[in-house]
Amino acid sequence: MSSRIKVAFMSHVMDNRAGKGTALYTRRLIEELLKNDRLEITLVHYEKTDDPLYKKAREILIPRLRLPFATRFVRTLLFFWKYRRERFDIIHWFQPRLYPFFWFAPARRIVVTAHGAGDITAPGQFPLSRSIYNFLMIHFNHRIDAIIGVSEFGKQEIIEHYRATRDNVYAIYNGGGESFKPLYKQASQKLIFERYGIRSPFILDVSRLEPHKNVDTLIRAYEILRRENTFSHSLVIVGARRFEAEKTLALAHASLYAKDIMFLDFVEQADLNALYSASDVFVFPSLNEGFGLPLVEAFSSGTPVITSNVTALPEVASDAAIIVDPADTSALAGAMCRVLSDARLRNMLVQKGLARARVFTWIETARKTSDLYQHLVDHESVR
């Protein structure tokens, strides 16, 4: 039997970041890959945490240092120096935390999960670290042996916007389909009311409040739906308040139906399944997604879905959702009306969603990722 592949994960992106997409991807991938006997896994991060995942693998704490600025950059270089004789087979980074001179990492191969190129294509306010990340991805991607996009759309976006060589970019879907299941609606509604004060019936969106999530259009479509129909559903939007969130909040507060629009910054991961199952329809009108994990979560929870016809969303949804132009407010309102008023349509979407969700599992994500590691180790290339 060949020796195991030594893989180091730059796992700090999942530390104390519950609910973040990149953190969830990192955690679920590591959890599955820890079950793989072909791999010898090391988790590398900056600060000690009580996360039990670190007890399941070798842990490296990056040398401590405090500087007026660029502390993590310098600490990362110290990690490279201290472990220069280690020579991992693979070091795997997760967006958006590449630093200059990442190519000096003590590894034969460098892998980066970029998801897509949303840091370039999606509107928003990004910290300096992401600007550095984009610069490195554009000008130094030849130093990376494999870049992972989480959809075919994400792969093409990476090739186009980061100017990456096609042969070095791979599409590996996220999982998520096995993490949720249809729950009894009345029990879910009771739980969600007791814990979060959300009264049923309601329409749900799980989106951070930032421009590319397109929550403003959803609020306007909701106004049309309520004005032109007799539905009494509230609109529940779950997600952290980010860039330009105040504009979205002001729009909601000025609405004729402001008392029925509810914002929650955060819902416990353990309650998300019940939240999806309690809702009558999940609406995700995002303008830019490399994958769109909430779609899979809603599908798995037995909730009918409406989403956008742009970026990776039609690819992930396939025929299991109502797909609309996210800029067309009337079309979005009409789609919500159709789903809420047509029981046969709802049932069809639920059944198709459950079938579609089975395509996306973290087990399959991990299998394809470990196969990629094996391919990189087996095929030497000069960086």
Mean pLDDT of 111-126: 81
3-state helix, strand, coil in the chain (%, to 5): 45, 15, 35
Residue (of 13, 318, 21) closest to 153 by Cα position: 318
| H or E element in which residue 315 lies | helix 313-317
Mean pLDDT of 358-375: 97
Cβ-based burial of 166 (10 A; exposed 0-12, middle 13-18, buried ≥19) = exposed
pLDDT computed for residue 2 by the predictor: 58
Confidence label for 129 from pLDDT (cuts 50, 70 and 90): confident
Q: Which residue has the higher pLDDT, 380 or 275?
A: 275
Classify strands 88-94 and 261-264 as parallel, antiparallel or unpaired: unpaired
pLDDT computed for residue 243 by the predictor: 81
From CA 275, how far away is CA 129, in angstroms rounded? 33
Say how many C-beta atoms besides its own lie within 10 A of residue 125's C-beta: 10
Strands (E), 48-106: 58-61, 88-94
Confidence label for 96 from pLDDT (cuts 50, 70 and 90): low
Q: Is the pLDDT of residue 123 over 80?
A: no
Residue 367 tokens, joined: 């299998």
Confidence label for 121 from pLDDT (cuts 50, 70 and 90): confident
Q: Which residue has the higher pLDDT, 69 or 364?
A: 364
Mean pLDDT of 104-133: 85
Residue 57 DSSP code: S
Say how many C-beta atoms besides its own lie within 10 A of residue 108's C-beta: 18
Residue-wise pLDDT tens digits, 192-205: 999 999 999 999 99
Q: Is the pLDDT of residue 383 over 80?
A: no
Long-range contacts formed by 256-259: CB under 8 A, 24+ apart: 256/223, 256/226, 256/227, 257/222, 257/223, 257/226
Cα torsion 295, 297, 301, 306 to 10°: value is: -10
% of the chain beyond a pLDDT of 90: 85
